[in-house]
Amino acid sequence: TIFFMIWNHDEGSLFRFIEDFNKCHPSIKFTHKISKTSINFLDVTVTVENDRLSTNLYEKPTDRQMYLHFNSSHPKHCKTGIPYSQAYRYRRICTDMRELDRHVEHLKHSLLKQNYPEDIIDDAILRARNVNRNDIINGPNRVSKTTSQTNLVLTYSSSAPRINNILSRHFNIIRQSKRLTSIFAKPPHVVYRRDKNLKDILVRAKTNTPEIQSGCYPCGKARCKVCPQMVTTRESKANFLDFKFCITESLNCDSSNVIYMLHCNICGQEYIGQTDTQFRLRFNNHRYHATSLPKLPLSRHLRLPNHSFENISVTLLQSGFSNRREREQREAYFIFKFRTLVAGINEDPGKLNCLREVSQEEIGDKD
């Protein structure tokens, strides 16, 4: 947002106003430019002369004035309207007629380089120069239209015939029908849409979205303590059964709402768990509980000979659960399928009662 204002008080109160203005919102800060004589605002230079304001055209240093080439495939009225619209804009901005003449001469030079006919340029400049500047500033008196006009929208082609002339010439056919006359009070107005140009054909605004790589991966952050123990894989196989689970999501140390598997690299036993927080936090909790809560199943396993927490590897299995119950039920499914209750570190079969009964029978058979 750009503001322009004239400050009628002292400079100190202006800076206090700007400072208070920048306190309105913590994420919005305004920069400012102040001058007592002249300042540029958009395409206008405002100057104080003899206690009066005068305006002149301001052209940015990056403005190359590369107007539409006259030989381009555009409707003729689009091209012939450019000289007048630009000269009209200069007339509105420039207070001094000498400055206006200087700017329109530069405009003429730029348009000639774009192959505009000199007579079209001169006629447009003359018409704009003769317009009363006060009428431009005050705005025209627009007459409200009582009837709406129907537009015929077509894709422009330089080889197309003059459709407007054809419609006007044969509009008497429409007038022979009362019904059509009530619909089309006037001949439809032809409006052209631009056809595809070379840029549209060769350039795509939409970038190629990189394909999300499914699987379990380390996050790669420099200080992450989980990455050295995170397994890079797209699937996980059970130790004692012919069961393989394919990971369909992209999961890493930062993933939350996940089910994970801890694998002991010493004895091969595994542990299935779940968490709604970032896995990085859950893994650090396991590390802390290994010594602070020695009665937990994983803590007791790590106290076996030659076992340590550094010998644990991690695989994230699944994420994206809609609620805690769904996540816990899926955890029980993985405990059953990977047999981590019978031949692993888990001691609770989870939240599925049917799997709980089966697991208890397997434990009884094992005993």
Give the tens place of pLDDT for each residue, 231-267: 999 999 988 778 899 999 999 999 999 999 999 999 9
How far is 333 from 330, CA to CA, in rounded Å? 5
Instruction: Please name the residue that has the structure tokens 């913590």.
Output: 26
**Which tens digits make up the pLDDT trace of 47-74?**
888 888 888 999 888 888 888 899 888 8
**Which tens digits make up the pLDDT trace of 22-32?**
888 778 888 88
* H or E element in which residue 105 lies: helix 97-113
Say what the pLDDT of residue 53 is.
87
Minimum mean pLDDT range among 74-88, 91-105, 149-163, 329-343: 149-163
Q: Is 138 helix (H, G, I), strand (E, B) or coil?
A: helix
How far is 1 from 80, CA to CA, in rounded Å? 33
**Beta-carbon-side half-sphere exposure of residue 339 (alpha carbons within 13 Å):** 16
Q: Is the pLDDT of residue 356 over 70?
A: no
Sketch out the chain's domains with CATH numbers: 39-139 (no CATH), 151-202 (no CATH), 215-366 (3.40.1440.10)
Q: Is the pLDDT of residue 271 over 90?
A: yes
How far is 140 from 295, CA to CA, in rounded Å? 87
How far is 326 from 332, CA to CA, in rounded Å? 10
As a whole number of Å, the CA-based R_g of the chain is: 38
How far is 147 from 186, CA to CA, in rounded Å? 9
* H or E element in which residue 315 lies: strand 312-319
Q: Is the pLDDT of residue 361 over 60?
A: no
Cβ pair 192, 152 in contact under 8 A:
no
Nearest alpha carbon to residue 36 among 50, 44, 52, 48: 48
Say what the pLDDT of residue 365 is.
47
Q: What is the mean pLDDT of residues 62-91?
A: 88
The most confident of 43-47, 235-239, 331-335, by mean pLDDT: 331-335
pLDDT > 70 fraction of the chain, expressed in percent and rounded: 92
Question: Could you tell me how far CA 86 lies from the centroid of its own chain?
Answer: 33
Query: In sequence order, which residues have a C-beta less than 8 Å from that of residue 319 and are 6 or more positions away?
Result: 249, 251, 255, 256, 257, 258, 259
Minimum mean pLDDT range among 176-180, 217-221, 247-251, 359-363: 359-363
pLDDT > 90 fraction of the chain, expressed in percent and rounded: 44
Paired with 249 in beta bridges are: none
Strands (E) located in 201-249 = 215-216, 235-237, 244-246
Q: Is the pLDDT of residue 216 over 80?
A: yes
